[in-house]
Chain A
Amino acid sequence: MKRESELVGLCIEAACESRESVEKWRMQRRSLDRLPSPVADALLRRLIARRLLYPSLLEYPYSLYPSFSTQSCSIHVSNFFSFLVRVFKHSAEEVDVRDNGSVDAEWMAYLGAFRHLRYLNLADCHRITTSALWPITGVVSIFILHTYSYCHFLRDGSVRRA
């Protein structure tokens, strides 16, 4: 993988300096939606390496989900992944999560939505199963299922309409 330039490196370093700095740029989400891919890759790589990505830190406001009823859906656990998709979906080309014990089918469901993903390293991710690979092989419907996986009040009819 390519290393970032000195200037980009300094910016990435500042963005990943602490939980507080991550919180600052998280609030500027909209301006990050179209990051240049080298910056997005470097930022994502650094966040993963420093274990700065986890649900409680990157919690996504319920109000940004107009299609969900917060009374019937608990989407807390998926907030991080939704954030991940939103920020990096259109920019990240390289994702390296090797030797990360938390990477599972839900991760894959959201990585499957990355539009420009060219390089994916899952080495030593022991929770990755055959079925976890479906999203990156074109089984788009799995993404929908995972998105709704915490909606305890959904019935068969709702899923059919989705």
Chain B
Amino acid sequence: MTTLQELDLSRCFKVNDSGISHLLSVPNLEKLRISETGVTAKGVKLLASLQNLSLLDLGGLPVDDVSLTSLQVFILPFDASVFDNQRYTSQ
């Protein structure tokens, strides 16, 4: 679906990393909210392929340094809401 720009899947806990891999075929996605879903650090790393992403809500997801590093491909201003994330693990 090329028209979709904003998708909110917050607290859809049955959506996991496979769901993220499907979303990679939505090329114009700009805002994605996946807080408190079943997505893991592996799924977060996949998001780097979404080149038009400007807002990403990862609240409550078990992200780590490696997955965050993979998101460095995004240029500023990129708003990733991970800093209030108590499951964030720094290595």
Contact = CB atoms under 8 A, between A and B. Distances in A.
Interface string A123-145: 11111111001101111000000
B22 A126 contact: no
A127 B14 CA distance: 7
Interface string A89-128: 0000100001000000000000010011111111111111
Interface string B25-61: 1100000010000000000000000000000000000
Nearest to B35: A123
Contacts of B12: 122-126, 128
Interface residues of B, number: 22
Size range of the interface on A?
20 to 34
Shortest beta-carbon contacts, A-B, top 5: A130-B19, A123-B10, A129-B14, A137-B22, A121-B8
Interface of A: 93, 98, 112, 115-130, 133-134, 136-139
